[in-house]
Amino acid sequence: MKQTEKSNQKNRDWHKGKPTWSSLHPQEMSEMMKGDKNPFYGKHHTKENRKKIIKNLIKDGSWWLGRKQSEKSKQKNREAKKKNPTRYWLGKHLPEEMKRKIRITTRITTRKPKFREECRLRRLKQKLPTIDTSIELKVKKYLDDRKINYIHPFNLGNRFQCDFYIPFLNLIVECDGSYWHSLPENKRRDKAKDAYAKECGFNILRLTEKEINKGNFEI
């Protein structure tokens, strides 16, 4: 959606003689736009316009998606923070109606297949947890002591992340913590991962926390 030249001219006329936004504190900006000081005061968007605005805002999950701040803009932000480091929002709270709208928008966005797929692909690029668990460290030591080459962690296609992969055995090794892998949701995920690994032609070995801690395993 683009503003008409007539609308742009109205905005320019309204801003004449007024200080620029960048020179104002957020609270001052808020005061300037309250009530009848706001050029849109007493007016309403048509239903058609509202639909267009909503469509443009959420069609890609976020209106800012894919955009980047210029270096000039970043520098302005840094300088503004230095001049006024006080957080003007400190101690304030969003009204309940605003919270409700945010919850609804979040639900709409996070349920979109495109958004969920992007999150899943970003997750695969991460190494989580960022610190190896105690049982992963024990398996790592076991492999290092025997000079066995491995990949840790290992991305299984673009769907799952696995703990270890040993190329010469074509073997995926999973270290299952007692608590985490006893949860129903994670049991279902483990079954799906095993099935997908076999479908892709990999062998898979699951080691329990008890087996690893007692040293009752062989690879």
- How many residues does this entry show for the chain? 219
Question: Which of 215, 199, 195 lies closest to 207 in space, CA to CA?
Answer: 215
pLDDT of residue 97: 86
pTM for this predicted structure:
0.47
In the predicted model, residues of the chain with pLDDT beneath 50 are none
Distances (CA, A) of 118 to 40, 42, 65, 160: 37, 41, 12, 14
pLDDT of residue 59: 60
Give all domains of the chain, ordered by start, each with its CATH number: 5-92 (no CATH), 130-214 (3.40.960.10)
**Which residue is it, tokens 């769907």?**
159
Distance in angstroms (rounded) separating the CA atoms of residues 11 and 20: 13
Q: Which helix (H) or strand (E) holds 173?
A: strand 171-176
Distance in angstroms (rounded) separating the CA atoms of residues 166 and 174: 11
Half-sphere exposure of 11 (CA within 13 A, CB side): 7
Question: Which of 164, 121, 129 lies closest to 143 in space, CA to CA?
Answer: 164
